[in-house]
């Protein structure tokens, strides 16, 4: 398939997990990909994996909570490929699992800075670039925690509900200019982040899969590739009438 032929795609937090799988998926569909991450070594590794397939990719280091980094990342995309067609705002952190009264201001501020301010800064810079070339498509990483509450995860839940709000507003404000903005809401996906959440929730007593699989009606956790498939489809012309949506990819979690 070549859903993304001639397209230029940017993925933040693409050094691991869902971001890496998404960068690879864009490349498999023919896109030229800018891989971004705060971790340069991990990001370069994703680029190496993509280039091994014969596809075109390069790396731009950015901490998405930093406005100057985000602008430099977009400048790098435009400098490399002249345009930006698709963006996946994926970078995110989970933070501490604690009741609200035990959550520190520092933990709250850091999660909001990366997960929500990061998406805000990326949307501003990406949409500004897309307006110059007649449109584009953006997918933000929310979570099932952007749709319902999860005891112990107040800052994360607040950040992901915020991502869904930003998604709706950006979709409404730029629909007429040909820019689609959607969010996706994964359930438990087999990555480092889920391992950290499961280890914190059980004190390391149960494996991630043991703890998380039974919570999903399909009886298992998802894979990063299953999430990447949805992201790339939403960015593609096949999803041309989809905007402002928050799409679960959660094995039935929020249907319960």
Chain residues in the site for ligand NAD (CB under 6 A): 12-13, 15-19, 37-39, 42, 62-65, 90-93, 114, 141, 143, 186, 188-189, 191-194
> Considering beta carbons, is residue 39 or 56 the nearer one to ligand NAD?
39
User: CA angle, 73 as apex, 10 and 6 as ends, to 5°?
Assistant: 35
- Active-site positions read 156
In contact, 96 and 154? CB cutoff 8 Å? no
E strand segments, 135-253: 136-141, 179-186, 246-249
For ligand NAD, the closer CB: 129 or 141: 141
Of residues 8 and 114, the one with the C-beta less far from ligand NAD = 114
Smallest gap from residue 194 Cβ to ligand NAD (A)? 4
Nearer to ligand NAD, 65 or 164 (CB): 65
- Rounded to whole angstroms, what are the CA distances from 80 to 71, 97, 139, 219, 235? 14, 40, 21, 43, 20
Tokens of 1: 């398939």
Q: Calculate the alpha carbon distances from 246 to 139, 140, 146, 227 in Å.
A: 10, 9, 9, 13
At closest approach, how far in Å is the CB of 6 from ligand NAD?
27
Q: Positive or negative, the Cα torsion across 198, 199, 205, 207?
A: positive
Q: Measured from the CB of residue 107, what is the shortest distance to ligand NAD in angstroms?
A: 14
């Amino acid at each position: 398939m070549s859903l993304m032929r001639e397209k230029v795609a940017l993925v933040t937090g693409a050094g691991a997990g869902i971001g890496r799988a998404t960068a690879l998926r864009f490349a498999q569909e023919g896109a030229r990909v800018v891989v971004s991450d705060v971790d340069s070594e991990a990001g370069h590794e994703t680029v190496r994996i993509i280039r091994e397939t014969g596809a075109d990719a390069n790396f731009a280091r950015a901490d998405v909570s930093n406005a100057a980094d985000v602008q430099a990342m977009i400048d790098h995309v435009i400098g490399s490929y002249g345009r930006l067609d698709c963006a996946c705002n994926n970078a995110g952190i989970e933070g501490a699992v604690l009741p609200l009264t035990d959550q520190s201001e520092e933990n709250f501020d850091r999660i909001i800075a990366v997960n929500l301010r990061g998406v805000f800064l990326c949307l501003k810079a990406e949409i500004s670039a897309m307006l110059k070339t007649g449109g584009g498509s953006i997918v933000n990483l929310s979570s099932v925690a952007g749709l319902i509450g999860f005891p112990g995860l107040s800052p994360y839940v607040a950040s992901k509900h915020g991502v869904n709000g930003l998604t709706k507003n950006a979709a409404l404000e730029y629909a007429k200019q040909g820019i689609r903005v959607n969010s996706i809401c994964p359930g438990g996906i087999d990555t480092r982040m889920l391992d950290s959440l499961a280890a914190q929730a059980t004190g390391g007593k149960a494996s991630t899969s043991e703890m998380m699989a039974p919570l999903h009606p399909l009886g298992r956790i998802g894979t990063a590739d299953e999430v990447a498939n949805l992201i790339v489809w939403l960015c593609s012309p096949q999803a041309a009438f989809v905007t402002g949506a928050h799409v679960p990819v959660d094995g039935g979690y929020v249907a319960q």
